Amino acid sequence: MTLKRPEETYVRNGAELTALWQDLMGPDGFGRRSLWLIFLHEDGQLAPLVMPIDDIPAEPDTEMLTNLATVIEGLADDAGFTSTALLLSRPGSAHVTASDTAWAREIMAAFGPHLSPWPMHLATRGTVRAFGTDDLIASRSA
């Protein structure tokens, strides 16, 4: 996917979302841990807003995520978007860490499938990937 203007960008499946995240994140690395949010209309059109939350802690903050989901749900009603896609970015290797999967699980729990039906993504230097079911299940048993 080549990055286009929001009104020309549509995401209708997981592969298109991964391609969009790759275009938005670029190949360079990250100096800090951030949570990124994008918003999609019912037809899959990208809303003209990318929201980074920088310097998030290594371990998920459940209260912050619950409050964030409440705010985003209110914005969705006012702005007319119907879903949110989220990505965690951090410095370091592309190896999925226990911290990464803890964040993914907590984000999925806070946002729920009605607000974020999209796969959660992880971005590190040169790599963007969706968390797979195996990533999340393996971390629960570890």
CATH number of the domain enclosing 15: 3.40.140.10
Domain presence at residue 1: no
Total structural domains within the chain: 1
Domain presence at residue 65: yes
**How far, in Å, CA of 102 to CA of 10, rounded?**
29
Domain presence at residue 52: yes
One digit per residue, pLDDT tens: the chain, 142 residues?
566 888 899 999 999 999 999 999 988 889 999 999 999 999 999 999 999 999 999 999 999 999 999 999 999 988 889 999 999 999 999 999 999 999 999 999 999 999 999 999 999 998 999 998 666 655 444 4
Domain presence at residue 56: yes
Domain presence at residue 111: yes
Burial class, 7, CB count within 10 angstroms (exposed 0-12 / middle 13-18 / buried 19+): exposed
Q: What's the whole-model pTM score?
A: 0.90
Domain presence at residue 64: yes
Report the candidate in 127, 76, 73 with the shortest Cα–Cα distance to residue 100: 127
